[in-house]
Chain A
Amino acid sequence: MPTRTVTVGSSSGLHARPAKIFVEAAAKAPVKVTIRSGDRKPVPAKSMLSVLALGAKQGTEVILEAEGEGADEALDSLAELLAKDLDADA
């Protein structure tokens, strides 16, 4: 399964604003994307509550996974988003 390992870039972690931007992008993806951190079970990347529950801070490594047509492209753009500091333009 196509997978990307990304380090969270947002200075305040994957919380309200960066999480929302990420979740909205994941919801638009043509494939189902999951996100997990460490050994915890993968959760839907388009679920705000699930993403918040990860408690990912800046520097936390998360793993994105998706399957199907367009999975690689979707993962690339989501990974790019996660690596950015989404608080920078807050």
Chain B
Amino acid sequence: MSDQLLDPRAIRLGETAAGRDDAIRRCGEVLVEIGAAEPGYIDTMLAREQSISTYVGEGVAIPHGTLAGKDLVKRDALAVLRFPETVDWDGEPVTLCVAIAAQGDGHVELLAALAEILLDEDQARELREATEPETVIRLLGSIQEEAKQ
């Protein structure tokens, strides 16, 4: 697991997208840009979403690739994209995407930590309304530590 699961460069808080697939593509592009995944990973993210929605609740979706896409992951990483105007995610309004590139099963702890944050209404709101990368890093910082254990 990389020391920097959440690269500050992968936090984009003023994104817009025409729809769900467009938002997923943006998420994938950021993971590719920071060197966490090969471009082909984006297609596996879209395939995963078609198979089953990655919407988890609280206006948050967690797009990630299929098992077949694991080979296209270069290092474990997260990307946080915020869509202030919300994206229609199969009928659910999504404000925040936490995109995941993961090789092993380290992301299960990572998802567990994210879910804990989202189960806390105040933290969930803070995360959805974040306009500064520092806020995201502070809130998700615990994820990085837990995932390293």
Q: Which residues of B are found within 8 Å of A17, using beta-carbon distances?
A: 48, 51-52
Which of B54, B108, B115, B116 is A57 in contact with, Cβ under 8 Å? B108
Residues of B in contact with A (beta carbons under 8 Å apart): 48, 51-54, 56-58, 62, 64, 66-67, 105, 107-109, 111-116, 118-119
B80 to A: closest C-beta gap in Å: 17
Is the pair B52, A52 in contact by a Cβ cutoff of 8 Å? no
The answer, yes or no, to whether A36 is at the interface (CB within 8 Å) is: no
B interface footprint on A65-87 (CB within 8 Å = 1, 0 otherwise)? 00000000000000000000001
Given contacts A20-B52, A50-B119, contact A15 B57 (CB under 8 A): no
Which of A12, A47, A50, A90 is B108 in contact with, Cβ under 8 Å? A12
Cα(A20)–Cα(B56), bound, Å: 9
Is the pair A55, B111 in contact by a Cβ cutoff of 8 Å? yes
Residues of A in contact with B (beta carbons under 8 Å apart): 11-17, 20-21, 47-50, 52-58, 87, 90
28 contacts between A and B (CB under 8 A): A11-B67, A12-B67, A12-B105, A12-B108, A13-B105, A14-B108, A16-B52, A16-B54, A16-B56, A16-B64, A16-B111, A21-B52, A49-B56, A49-B58, A49-B115, A49-B119, A50-B119, A52-B111, A52-B112, A52-B114, A53-B112, A53-B119, A54-B112, A55-B111, A55-B112, A55-B113, A90-B48, A90-B51
Cα(A50)–Cα(B58), bound, Å: 12
Cα(A64)–Cα(B107), bound, Å: 24
Is the pair B119, A87 in contact by a Cβ cutoff of 8 Å? no
Determine which residue in B108, B109, B112, B114 has the highest number of CB atoms from chain A within 10 A of its CB, and name it: B108
Q: Which residues of B are found within 8 Å of A53, using beta-carbon distances?
A: 112, 115-116, 119
Q: Which residues of A are found within 8 Å of B111, using beta-carbon distances?
A: 15-16, 52, 55
